[in-house]
Amino acid sequence: MFDLNQFSLKDKVALVTGGGRGIGQAIAFGFARAGAKVAITSRKAPDLEATACQMEDVGCETLVIPAHLGKFDEIQRVVDTVLQKFGRLDILVNNAGASPAIASVLDTDERLWETIMNVNLKGVYFMSQAAAKVMKKQGGGVIVNTARYHYFAWKKLANELDFDFSEKDNESLKGVSRMESLEILLKVGGLSFDDETKLALAARKNQWYVDYINSMEEDEVLPGAKKFIERARAAGLKIALGSASKNALTILNRLKLADYFDVVIDGTKVSRAKPDPEIFLLAAHELGLPPSDCVVFEDAKAGVEAAKKAGMKCIGVGICSELADADAVIPGFENIDLCIL
């Protein structure tokens, strides 16, 4: 039997469909014992409530969402309810299913066939789609999801150095320079090296990262971000990119976004990483604008702090609890109007 003590899902949020009984219930219990926050959904509220009570007995924070997963509106309501309660979604288990047990295959009519397909096919597809949109936005990167590529490269380096580097560890690297990120990673591993070795390690990590981003496609731009930038340009607003990455131009060119920015300030132009405001102050200077006329969109706590130190309005992109110091927080750029500025 697998030992749940070997790993932890602390602070992760899981959604299990058909979680009120059977296999779905067992999966939900497993997540609960591993420390996750668990949302369960099915058509039968009494089953869900009974399962939730048992999970709460082991200290699990639970959410019960009765819903018909064969209906598109219900699927979106489930995901929205999870976000309202927990602010994120990390794990989806599509367990709910319907079977033709009430009739033989030879006797199944069109109505029953549609019922089965709505739950088993349509429900799984659109639940996965709704969850994937949320998960993509959580990946980091206000315009494009590059945080996962940084994580893959840092984790690969950590594994070569014979220790593990978790996604939670990686959160502390957002908005931080490459060398400072390396210092944090080495601290996690309890390691120390001379400056020459550290430079070599950082260069190795960066090459892996560059290899990853060179495979990026245009569709990796976060939903709504390109249209928002286009509307801003059409309104005559000046736009700058401020990124600690030294590969910012590579990414913009790869995604065919470079022409959308009047100014690009990246890790090659600044000496101090966020939360120091240098990167934003330099961007404002090159745009010819006072800091008080600038609005920063940030997905990292260090970036929010940097923007506020620069005297700029800051809009967080992501989860409210992680970006609490921002003037406002949005989940992403879909359906976001310029009036937010």
pLDDT tens digit sequence for 305-331: 999 999 999 999 887 777 889 999 988
Residues 278 and 246 sit within 8 Å (Cβ to Cβ): no
Identify the pLDDT of residue 163: 94
Torsion region of 175: left, alpha or beta (phi above 0 gives left; psi -120 to 50 gives alpha): left
DSSP 3-state assignment of 117? helix
Q: Which of 69, 70, 66 is nearest to 115 (CA)?
A: 70
pLDDT recorded at residue 1: 39
pLDDT of residue 210: 82
The three state secondary structure string of 195-230 is: HHHHHHHHHHHHHHHHHHHCCCCHHHECCCHHHHHH
Query: What CATH number does domain 147-213 carry, 3.40.50.2300, 1.10.150.240, 3.30.43.10, 3.20.20.150?
Result: 1.10.150.240
Q: Quick one: pLDDT at residue 229? A: 94
According to CATH, what is the number of the domain 4-138?
3.40.50.720
Cα pseudo-dihedral 9, 89, 275, 203, rounded to 10? 70
Q: Rounded to 5 degrees, what angle do the CA atoms 183, 188, 194 make?
A: 40
Query: pLDDT tens for residues 170-221?
Result: 877 876 778 888 999 999 999 999 999 999 999 999 889 888 888 787 778 8
Dihedral sign from CA coordinates of 108, 110, 112, 114 = positive
Residue 260 dihedral angles phi and psi, to the nearest 5°? -85, -10
Average pLDDT, the chain: 87
Instruction: Say if residues 74 and 17 touch (Cβ distance below 8 Å).
Output: no
Q: Per residue of the chain (341 residues), what is the pLDDT tens digit? A: 345 454 567 778 899 999 998 888 989 998 998 888 999 999 999 999 999 999 998 899 999 999 998 888 899 999 999 988 888 888 899 988 776 555 566 777 788 778 878 888 898 999 999 988 888 766 555 566 677 788 899 999 999 999 999 888 887 787 677 888 899 999 999 999 999 999 999 999 988 988 888 878 777 888 889 999 999 999 999 999 998 777 888 889 888 899 999 999 988 898 888 889 999 999 999 999 999 999 999 988 889 999 999 999 999 988 777 788 999 998 888 888 898 88
Domain ranges of the chain: 4-138, 147-213, 221-340
pLDDT value, residue 288: 96
- Predicted pLDDT of residue 148: 76
Distance of alpha carbon 44 from the chain centroid: 31
Identical topology for domains 4-138 and 147-213: no
Question: In CATH, what class is 221-340?
Answer: alpha beta
